Amino acid sequence: MKIHIIILFVLAVLCGCTGGTESTGSTDCTESNDPIDEYNEVFAQVQKLEKIVETADWSVFSAEELKQMHTIGKELYYDYNPMDVTPEQASACETLKTRVKNLREQIVSKSSDAIKEAAVTAYNHTDMLIEAAEVYPVYLQKGETLNVVASSEQRFTLKISNANSRSVLNSFVAKTSVEHSMEIKNTAIYLVEVIPTKAQYMDLSVKYNVADLSRLTSPTPIDTEQVECSKGDFGAKGVPGIFMNKCFEEPRKFTLRGQIKAAFSGGGAKALVAVQVPAGTTDILYSMRIDTSESNRDEDGEFHDNLNSTYSRVKFLGLPLYEKSTSNGLLNTLLDDNRPLRDEDAYCNMYVFRNQAQAKLFQDGKKPASQLKYDVDYSTVGTQSCNGRIPMKGTRTIYLGFENERMRYTNYLWVEVEAIVPKTVYYKTKYSIDQAT
């Protein structure tokens, strides 16, 4: 004759959860050799347990406690050996066995019902400032129930979608609040998207009721990845982007002789290059490396690839093309990451001409630069190796003039130029879970 010792643990759990004062500290958990003594012990414990199970508030149990109770209930049993007792005692033992069976069924039933009512919290945000559309993914299994509650003092839109089937299931335009529950018909990753009308504070609660005991845990982690897509793809979002076009197939290399050499041995102290750009170009980015040595470097000719490499890392951030107040625009980011190597002993002047006739006068040396009309804002005097941005201002051709004002030393220039054409880049978020989860 025995009863599973786990009964005593159930009693302890229930007493602790309900705040009762029953104690199992004086109970002898070892099996007795006397069947009558064991019967009396089990009978007393079952009476206590029946009362506690009946009066317990199952709604206050934690997820882990409910899982323990469900498992414990399924394992409860009591049995006896009819050969060890009289017929009258056997009748009493059989009645007790039935009571234990009923108690087991009651615990399993109550814990199962409580599990179905228990909600797993995926997101719970209070007084959250939201300025743009935000998406909250949650992995749900068939038969579960999704519960969403959202509120704000301003109008907002709430959408619920199936990320796997790429379909919108529900959409609400709310004046101040939305409360929605839905039964999950397919196992998938679901998206709760909140779209504000402007920057506003919101409360958001996303919970779900499970159908399987194993799911009564913390939400399944979801991995996200930003991937480029087409405009019409599900979940596609547009961000400001650019197309970069090489203006020169190879770096333009110039030799700027010192003033004395230019005057007596030929060769010029000046150089001019016309930069032609495709339609829609708003800016050019240039890289100018100046050196006293005419040897090429491995980095020469890499400006285009380096810019694209940086752009691939930041294009999903939706940076503005340029932000004067904070210098954190997209073009500034590209330039900051790709500065040319600098020779401290090499420098020259660079002039930006927007008029062909003025550029020709500079090239032919008929007038000094000081007497010509050039764009002062983007020209530089006495500059070392550098890069920069020049706005096209609606033109298709711009002229870059270079001059070595040093008397004796020759400088060598490598110039690379990229045309910047703004465009909208579309991306979507790819959601996935670890299949081993």
User: Per residue in 116-153, pLDDT tens?
Assistant: 777 889 999 999 999 999 999 999 999 999 999 999 99
Which amino acid, one-letter code, is at 192?
A: V
Position 432 in a domain = no
Q: Which of 75, 93, 117 is the last residue of a domain?
A: 117
CA 290, CA 281: separation in Å to the nearest integer? Answer: 26
pLDDT at 5: 37
Question: Is residue 197 domain-shared with residue 255, that is, in the same domain?
Answer: no
Residue 103 lies in a domain: yes
pLDDT on residue 21: 33
Q: How confident is the model at residue 20 (pLDDT cuts 50, 70, 90)?
A: very low
Question: What count of Cα atoms within 13 Å lies in the side-chain half-sphere of residue 323?
Answer: 11
Q: Write the CB contacts of 92 (distance below 8 Å, at least 6 apart in sequence).
A: 39
Distance between CA atoms of 195 and 254, rounded to whole angstroms? Answer: 55
Task: Pick 299 or 373 by higher pLDDT.
Answer: 373
- Residue 370 — left, alpha, or beta (φ > 0 → left; ψ -120 to 50 → alpha)? alpha
Q: Would residue 237 count as lying in a domain?
A: no
324 shares its domain with 401: yes
Is residue 386 within 8 A of residue 261, CB to CB? The reply is no
Q: Looking at the structure, do residues 281 and 415 belong to the same domain, yes or no?
A: yes
Judge if 56 and 86 occupy the same domain: yes
Q: What is the pLDDT of residues 236-281, one digit of tens each?
A: 998 888 999 999 999 999 988 776 565 555 557 789 999 999 999 9
66-115 pLDDT tens trace: 777 778 777 777 888 888 888 888 899 999 999 888 988 888 888 777 77
Boundary residue ending a domain (117, 143, 177):
117
Classify residue 384 by its DSSP letter: -
Strand-strand pairing, 200-209 and 283-291? unpaired
Q: Are residues 333 and 413 in the same domain?
A: yes
Structural domain containing residue 268: 242-427
- By C-alpha distance, which of 158, 136, 128, 140 is closest to 206? 136
Residue 129 covered by a domain: yes
Residue percentage of the chain with pLDDT more than 90: 49
Task: Note the pLDDT of residue 1.
Answer: 42
Residue predicted with more confidence, 14 or 412: 412
Asked if 321 and 283 count as a contact pair (C-beta separation under 8 A), the reply is: yes
- The answer to whether residue 226 sits within a structural domain is no
Residue 58 shares a structural domain with residue 128: no
Kindly list the distances between the CA atom of residue 376 and the CA atoms of 245, 271, 319, 369, in Å, as whole numbers in the listed order. Answer: 25, 18, 27, 11
Both 275 and 411 in one domain: the answer is yes
The model carries a pTM of 0.66
Whether residues 149 and 169 fall in one domain: yes
Number of domains observed in the structure of the chain: 3
Specify if 434 maps to a domain. no
Please tell me whether residues 398 and 269 are part of one structural domain.
yes
309 and 370 housed in the same domain: yes
Do 326 and 275 share a structural domain? yes
* pLDDT of 259: 66
Provide the pLDDT for residue 401.
95
Question: Of 220, 255, 287, which residue is a domain's last?
Answer: 220
pLDDT of 12 > 90? The answer is no
